[in-house]
Structure 1
Amino acid sequence: MRFVKATYHLETKTVEYEASNGTRLLKTAGTLNWRFNNPGNIMALPEASKQKGRIGAGTVYNPKKNTFVIFSSIEVGEREKCALLKRKYRDDTISSMMSQYAPEAAGNDPVTYANFISSESGVAKDKKISDLNDNEFDKVVNAISKKEGGLKPGTEKWVYVTNVTVSDGSRPVADVPFKVTLGSTTYQWKTDSYGKLRTIIHTKQGMTIVIKYTNSAGREDVVYSAIAGDETKNIVLTRNFSQFSAKTLVDNPKTEREKSIRKPIKYIVMSGDSLAKIAARYKTSTDEIAKNNNIKDVSKIFPGQHLTIYGVNTDDPSIYMVSPGDTLAKIAAQNGTTVDELARRNNIADLNKIYPGQPILISNDVEYSSSHPVSATDKQAPKPNLLVGSTSSKVQSVNSNIKVLESVGSKKSDKPIALLPHEQREAPWMQKAMAEAKLWGGLKEDKIGHNFHTLVNSKCKYTLTNTAWCASFVNYCFKETSYKISKGFAGSNSFVGDENFKKISLPIYGCLMVWRRNGKGHVAFVYGRDSISGEIIVLGGNQDDSINFMLESDTTKVLVGYYIPAAYSELNRGGLHVFDVVELNKSININYVRKSKGKNKIAIKDG
């Protein structure tokens, strides 16, 4: 069981460990280092990311106030203690180390501590940590654990839960009301913005769980019932309809109502689509769509690609690489925009300072560029322009239970109608993945202006160059399209066992493909099958330090499995469509080289 979060309850001396599937372990009493999985009682640093394996922190009074790290396991805590001694104190003697490791200011006695370590381990107090042999080092480590409490256990209690997500088969659905009965108590609950009901804690064995939904006829249907047991369950309730509302207009107004004019529609290409199919669906022509979207070859469109129907596509962002002699004024004039707008979109503080090779975002999509500022230099890290609560309100809108439509006059008369919108129901997150691939295609991680780590978690200190970012890339795509992300957002295998994701037996378009080998992993989106090799093609980040398409044989890691968001159904999705991996990469400005017959191609760097 892998724990991803820990909370300390001081009043009961209990640490509540939460696993990725929602199961809890309560560790109560015992010594502090046992309770916190922290054999060395390592103090918590202000920046949690600097302490590997840290999943929480707890403040205690012994008697002075101190905050200690809570690690995911005893083994992880032990490893970090050893790493700390070798990293921070390698040039210290046992005596000098203790003045920092167990300072007097924190209520310790460094001299007594050093004497105990020396006596217990048999190692002289004036010997440097770097001079210890393996046997001596182990003895010092064990002596520290003994001094810190000896890992004397208290009590452990496992608590299991039921997690319920409501979906329409493609997206989670927010604000759906349910009557939930737990034992003898009934509650009126609604799904949150991610379609989830409150976590149902199995407070006692044999507790009955009944969930009811009032249907359109006003009758209560039992949609789920179970007996609480000693296992955690993740349940998806699928609702097979959509609800829309529109204001009522007068049927025969005194003043003639304006007839409807076809407004531009944003369409995301789905797997199996062709321009002919799309044109027939919207009663237009392939030539018209191709012209409006600057498509050179009408036989080549790709899933996740943005198209505009009934209008010119002005939303396709592009990157301009600064050349020697360029100025912002020159670039702005060439691209029909202003210096101030370019500076705002790219976080450029000094309008007179741009550099050859610097990527400049050129985009007509104001909403996109204002909410996703691009760094101008490595020193200007991207800072997402997020207002408090903006993400949740956006998610609430996308996953809304009832969607409000505009009432307009019909195409052929002034009679009132409400037009049902086109909904992207096939792997909606893939449109974001493709947009990022087009935006940053051909650029290495030190030139990519989106730090996917901080776009997923603004508090983290990771960068694309110091931390593998394949998982943060896919989680960013999920987050931007209103799906839950994995709890260990930067971990490639964090989707395995996470309550927000489920494993499927066969690959489908948009599912995650997860690999692992020798403690390292990789994750990417399944896109299709290659027309030459028949292998699975994946679209992902951190593949040779960039965003691109690769074949499954391009990694040396071992397949773990295929995963999709818990709110997404794999049923009736069909098989994978066939593409040429070379053509796909060419569409995002990348030159992909296949393996030559009889020659081994160097594996793609993916971790």
Structure 2
Amino acid sequence: MTKEFLSAKYDADTLTVDYVAGDGSHLLRSGGTVAWRFNNPGNLRPGKKGVLIYGAIGIGDTKTNKSFLIFSSYEEGRKQKKALLRSRYNDRTIYTMLTGIDDGKGKLIYGYAPKTDSNDPEKYATVISKHTGLPTTTKLSSMTDAQLESMMDAMEKHEGFHGKKETRKEKEVPATNIVVTDGAKPKADLPVKVEIAGKAHETKTDKSGRVPTIVHLTPGEQVKIFLTAVDGQWKKAHEFVMAQESKTLALIHSLDIFSGTTEVKKKGETKAPAAPAARTPTQYVVQPGDTAGRIAKDFETTVAELQRDNPHIKNIARIFPGDKLSVHGKASAKQAKAGGATKPAPLPQAPKKSAPEKKPEPPKQAPAKPAEPARSKEGSGAPLALIPVDQKRAPWMAVAIEEAKKWAGKTESTITKTSNYHKLTGAGFLTSLEGKDNAWCASFVTYCLTNAQPAYSKWKNSFRARAVALDATFVEIKEPVYGAIMLQGTHHVAFVYAKDGDSYACLGGNQSDQVNFTPFKKSLRFFVPIAYSEFAKKEIKDGKSLVNHSCADLNKAFGISLHKKEGDATR
């Protein structure tokens, strides 16, 4: 196999493992033995039922009610087996490794191949001894790496990895993955029509804007994708021919329909003077380059009112990107110009005649279109439908900022008690944030992406930093923008927040065991979700540069007291 597979599922009825690569292609592997199908030469099992161990990409349940781990490759499976032998069994002999050790009550526990699991550990130990030339009383800790590898070869053969070679089958199946977006935000729950070889199927995007994967079962067949237009009719958005390679693409759908609760003013009706309206705030997320004065001007309010309405901000003159403000200005219902927000098409005026306009019948073949609410002229006393501020710039950064403020200098030993980001993002087999084997930078980034409004998809194996570069639903960009995912080497990810001299100030988790701002400048690559890629590319084209903030000032402003690690390590 040349591709790195990031997830896998097993069908016990057909004895087939479905491996999925970062580009969306599938490898169907059947026949052979469980050890071969699962890339698991040691027949390793989950520590707990249904719980992965680090390095595994899936779990296969057999018809005999046994569960085995699935690895991305033979090499990875063997690597994890070696790690297990050197950790859990290193102080055991060949024989006690297999049988288990006495629990003090006459019961053998923690054996690699105990009798209680239908094994013959004595025979197994003899096989290893004959192959390696080592007595069964040899401790693993006394073995050289070469001797351990020799023992693993014997175990691999005994576990059946090389059996039934004549029945082995592999078939690579390409696929197309589609994300529907407005260029910056994924379009969730959007009606989509997929037509394959003339046969139509209607579906919807998921919460991250993804269309169900289109598997290329019959190369050469034509596929058409339809989205709804402004008139509610289906409009062809893309077409392609099933080919031998996989692809991932973003379809732009810029139509937004905003609903507001209004009632149409009836003919001859005289309205009593309206009571003073309750002050309903607009929630605004501070963008790079914003100042309190600029925000006040855009929303037709004052800096003093901004300070009064946001007591959680100690000094409104010192606001930072990602801060959330409640704005009660006269223009709270208008579209703010700050922060790169875009203005949606205005809602139509209410008809000047007494009778409301007749609504057209929606087409039968397309989903029903929400009725557009009427809007009055300012001061007429007629109902008003409010359009929310549409802020497109890196919505996940608001989540990251909230987490930074929430933990404000606390270390992972405290954070893990209530916010194990591994568990919160589906990697619950990593039961803690503490320790070098539980690196949580990627799970923190994933948490922010998937809890943004709207939610963005996570990459496969999202607890691994390097996997972001392997997943086609994340796009590499040539230079960073605010909120871009920074990948340093292959081992650390964080969000780009600002420039700090000749470095980038990055907000992330697992930085000195905290959520904090840390500078990075070497071996960096930058990625954004594919749903956000058009907006990011436009920012780069338009020369939207990062603002300047030092990490020291940012940490101080957010109440983060840096935790010093040995050698000033940042992770």
TM-score strictly above 0.5: yes
Asked if the contact 1:90/1:129 (under 8 Å) is kept, the reply is: yes
Asked if the contact 2:232/2:369 (under 8 Å) is kept, the reply is: no
Aligned to 1:544: 512
Over aligned residue pairs, what C-alpha RMSD do you find? 2.9
Aligned to 1:256: 272
- Change beyond 3 A, Cα 1:525–1:90: closer
SS in 1 for 2:467: coil
SS in 2 for 1:464: coil
Does 2:247 match 1:237? no
Following superposition, the deviation at residue 230 of structure 1 comes to: 2.1
In the TM superposition, 1:205-604 aligns within 5 A as 205-217=219-231, 220-252=234-266, 253=269, 256=272, 258=274, 260-294=277-311, 299-310=317-328, 412-448=379-415, 450-457=419-426, 459-466=428-435, 467-481=438-452, 482-516=455-489, 521-530=491-500, 533-553=501-521, 558-559=523-524, 561-568=525-532, 569-573=535-539, 574-590=544-560
Q: Distance in 2 between matches of 1:222 and 1:131?
A: 67
SS in 1 for 2:466: coil
Amino acid at match of 1:474: V
Asked if the contact 1:245/1:403 (under 8 Å) is kept, the reply is: yes
Superimposed CA distance per residue, residues 434-469 of structure 1 (whole angstroms, 9 cap, x where no aligned partner) = 122122222222233533223223744432223222
Q: Distance in 1 between matches of 2:98 and 2:509?
A: 44
- Change beyond 3 A, Cα 1:92–1:547: closer
In structure 1, stretches of 5+ residues that fail to align are: 312-400, 594-600
Amino acid at match of 2:112: Y
Q: Higher mean Cα deviation, 473-482 or 52-61?
A: 52-61
Does 2:124 match 1:160? no
Aligned to 2:345: none
Amino acid at match of 2:281: P
Amino acid at match of 1:126: T
Asked if the contact 1:26/1:156 (under 8 Å) is kept, the reply is: yes
Amino acid at match of 1:161: A
Q: Distance in 2 between matches of 1:50 and 1:247?
A: 48
Does 2:58 match 1:56? yes
Following superposition, the deviation at residue 228 of structure 1 comes to: 1.6
Aligned to 2:127: 116
Aligned to 1:140: 151
Aligned to 2:333: none
Asked if the contact 2:323/2:401 (under 8 Å) is kept, the reply is: yes
Q: Distance in 1 between matches of 2:448 and 2:81?
A: 36
Following superposition, the deviation at residue 405 of structure 1 comes to: 9.4
Q: Higher mean Cα deviation, 97-106 or 466-475?
A: 97-106
Following superposition, the deviation at residue 476 of structure 1 comes to: 1.2
Following superposition, the deviation at residue 138 of structure 1 comes to: 2.4
SS in 1 for 2:151: helix
Asked if the contact 1:493/1:522 (under 8 Å) is kept, the reply is: yes
Asked if the contact 1:507/1:526 (under 8 Å) is kept, the reply is: yes
In structure 2, stretches of 5+ residues that fail to align are: 100-110, 330-367
Q: Distance in 1 between matches of 2:514 and 2:372?
A: 40
SS in 2 for 1:454: helix
Asked if the contact 1:586/1:592 (under 8 Å) is kept, the reply is: no
Asked if the contact 2:7/2:461 (under 8 Å) is kept, the reply is: no
Q: Distance in 2 between matches of 1:73 and 1:257?
A: 73
Amino acid at match of 1:546: Q
Superimposed CA distance per residue, residues 128-158 of structure 1 (whole angstroms, 9 cap, x where no aligned partner) = 3333344432222111111122435512211
Asked if the contact 1:545/1:605 (under 8 Å) is kept, the reply is: no
Aligned to 1:348: none
SS in 1 for 2:305: helix
Following superposition, the deviation at residue 166 of structure 1 comes to: 0.7
Asked if the contact 1:245/1:405 (under 8 Å) is kept, the reply is: yes
Asked if the contact 1:180/1:211 (under 8 Å) is kept, the reply is: yes
Asked if the contact 1:123/1:140 (under 8 Å) is kept, the reply is: no
In the TM superposition, 1:7-156 aligns within 5 A as 7-46=9-48, 51-60=53-62, 65-99=65-99, 100-152=111-163, 153=165, 154-156=168-170
Following superposition, the deviation at residue 306 of structure 1 comes to: 1.2
Aligned to 2:569: 605
Asked if the contact 1:526/1:537 (under 8 Å) is kept, the reply is: yes
Q: Distance in 2 between matches of 1:299 and 1:142?
A: 67
Q: Higher mean Cα deviation, 236-245 or 47-56?
A: 47-56
Q: Higher mean Cα deviation, 42-51 or 22-31?
A: 42-51
Amino acid at match of 1:497: L
Aligned to 2:346: none
% identity of equivalent residues: 35
- Change beyond 3 A, Cα 1:409–1:603: farther
- Change beyond 3 A, Cα 1:435–1:219: closer
Q: Distance in 2 between matches of 1:460 and 1:139?
A: 30
Superimposed CA distance per residue, residues 348-393 of structure 1 (whole angstroms, 9 cap, x where no aligned partner) = xxxxxxxxxxxxxxxxxxxxxxxxxxxxxxxxxxxxxxxxxxxxxx
Q: Distance in 1 between matches of 2:185 and 2:96?
A: 58
Superimposed CA distance per residue, residues 98-119 of structure 1 (whole angstroms, 9 cap, x where no aligned partner) = 3333333333333332332222
Count of aligned positions:
500
Aligned to 1:354: none
Following superposition, the deviation at residue 48 of structure 1 comes to: 6.0
SS in 1 for 2:258: strand
Aligned to 2:341: none
Asked if the contact 2:264/2:374 (under 8 Å) is kept, the reply is: no
Asked if the contact 1:529/1:579 (under 8 Å) is kept, the reply is: yes
Match of 2:203 among 166, 171, 189: 189
Superimposed CA distance per residue, residues 17-63 of structure 1 (whole angstroms, 9 cap, x where no aligned partner) = 112332211111123211111112223331666733122222335xx
Amino acid at match of 2:444: F
Q: Distance in 1 between matches of 2:65 and 2:328?
A: 65
Asked if the contact 2:257/2:372 (under 8 Å) is kept, the reply is: no
Q: Distance in 2 between matches of 1:551 and 1:13?
A: 49
Following superposition, the deviation at residue 173 of structure 1 comes to: 1.0
Asked if the contact 1:522/1:606 (under 8 Å) is kept, the reply is: no
- Change beyond 3 A, Cα 1:463–1:115: closer
Q: Distance in 1 between matches of 2:270 and 2:54?
A: 71
SS in 1 for 2:81: helix
Following superposition, the deviation at residue 248 of structure 1 comes to: 4.9
Aligned to 1:393: none
Does 2:185 match 1:171? yes
Q: Distance in 2 between matches of 1:497 and 1:234?
A: 12
Consecutive aligned runs of 4 or more in structure 1 exceeding 6 Å deviation: 401-411
Q: Distance in 2 between matches of 1:461 and 1:592?
A: 25
Amino acid at match of 1:416: P
- Change beyond 3 A, Cα 1:406–1:181: closer
Following superposition, the deviation at residue 571 of structure 1 comes to: 3.5
Superimposed CA distance per residue, residues 63-85 of structure 1 (whole angstroms, 9 cap, x where no aligned partner) = x5432221221111112222233
Q: Distance in 2 between matches of 1:120 and 1:577?
A: 64
